[in-house]
Copies of this chain bind each other. A is one copy, B any other.
Amino acid sequence: MRASGQTAKSRITKAERTRARLIEVATRLFQEHGSDEVTVRRIAAAAKIEAGSIYYHFASRDEIMRAVLEGGVGGAKTEVLKAIAEVAGASPLDRLRAALGAHLKYTLHHHFSSRLKAIRRLPKRLRDHHMKQEREYAAIFADLLAEAQAKGLLRPGFDLSVVRMLAMGALTWAAEWYDPAGTMAPADITDELMKLLTEGIVK
């Protein structure tokens, strides 16, 4: 049992823990400050490690960013899918509300998109991978809209892909102006958007 205990514990090697901690710390730093302003040395310092040691875990700074991005989009996807699953039986529009709500919540909480997505300057390889992930993420919302349309819930004459991007953009951009100290909860913003989306604002 000693051996198995040891082995069981070292299924997670120390390097993996350090790597995870680095990603965690880097993510936080990237959120708090911009994508620049965050140097390898700052990440190292925040992770209580020396700058050079980072290169035992990552081949380059860009690989750290890749990991952070991947975690970010992946996390958002997980949360959104979970939120949809929680209202599994509901109508497409109610599931869309749940999805948009989760999207906003994640975006606000991680202050993710606006700070990090603005990184087009990634090496092509990484950028392609990131955009593929992004497309998969967008497809979740596109599917819900398509389903609503298929069920005849929507008025005709809309370009659904534009609608989707406008709606998601409105929420994504919320990270730029949302004030957590204010009286408004993220869910309120989602509701407001859904009201606009469904009924419109005009009498």
Contact = CB atoms under 8 A, between A and B. Distances in A.
A117 B176 contact: yes
A201 B154 contact: yes
Given A165-B174, A166-B192, A192-B163, A202 B118 contact: no
A114 interface: yes
A184 B162 contact: yes
A193 B166 contact: yes
**Count of chain copies:** 2
Interface string A170-203: 1111101100000010001100110111111111
A163 B157 CA distance: 23
A36 B188 CA distance: 35
B120 A163 contact: no
A121 interface: yes
20 contacts: A36-B36, A93-B202, A153-B202, A154-B201, A155-B201, A155-B202, A155-B203, A157-B195, A158-B201, A163-B196, A165-B173, A166-B192, A166-B196, A170-B173, A173-B173, A196-B200, A197-B200, A197-B201, A197-B202, A198-B202
Interface of A: 33-37, 93, 114-115, 117-121, 152-155, 157-159, 162-163, 165-174, 176-177, 184, 188-189, 192-193, 195-203
